[in-house]
Amino acid sequence: MAASVVIDAALVLGLAAGAGLLAASGYGPRAAWVSACAIAASCLGAWWWDRATMGTSPGHAALGLRTVAAADRMPSHPLRGQRLTLDIGTGADPLRLRARPIHLDPPARRQRRSDRAEVRLVFEDGTRVEGRGTFVLGRAPKPQRHGDATMAVPDLTRSLAPSHAVLRVDGRGVTVTDLGSAHGTIVVDAAGRRALQPHLPTHVPWNSTLTLGERSALLERRDPIEARE
């Protein structure tokens, strides 16, 4: 730090003396004094500006130093607050741009076609209802869990329970869970006819028939993308 001050002072004095000698040779001692003072003032102003905006000076540049405020490590007023002089030759320069890794969020998982599959239930009387995801089917269904949808089916026989079964649709078919209905749920597929145990999720393949009380429905797969195409 002291060496930097010596270099700065020597540079100012040298410029002022040189300007004074040139002025003296042509205009006399008074002009020399005015020229020396003007050069010294200009150099002092330039030094102040460099220190305040960049934290440097000719002496600092020669020695690889930068003076910054201790609080934020940025150049500021040369005579105010606690200050630090850093050796920028060792990589401690706060004004040097540094490449930093950018952390990006992983891309959102694209929904697979199997995730978008919908089921169409075609009842024996021609009634058609469609659903996707997880939903409760019945005469007056209520969600069993947060986020469950509901699918109400008109039933004059009243053999369909208010909340008869839970259906969860995926690409391979429908997982059906009977909710302990009075008349039960029966599956008819390529493997034969079987009654579902209450509250036990059972996978039912596409194009199977569900018997819900006295109502029956064919499970058809409906892909929304294919339907639009």
Kindly report, residue by residue over 196-219, the tens digit of the pLDDT. 999 999 999 999 999 999 999 999
What does the alpha-carbon distance between residue 118 and residue 164 come to, in Å, rounded to a whole number?
19
Which domains, and CATH codes, for the chain?
A: 2-90 (no CATH), 118-228 (2.60.200.20)
For 13-35, letters b (16+ CB in 10 Å) and e give: eeebeebbeebbeeeeeebbeeb
Q: Is residue 42 over pLDDT 60?
A: yes
Residue 112: per-residue pLDDT? 52
Residue 159: per-residue pLDDT? 92
Written as one letter, the residue type at 115 is D
Average pLDDT value for the chain: 75
Q: Is residue 46 over pLDDT 50?
A: yes
pLDDT band at 222 (very low <50, low <70, confident <90, very high): confident
Residue 229: per-residue pLDDT? 45
pTM comes to: 0.49
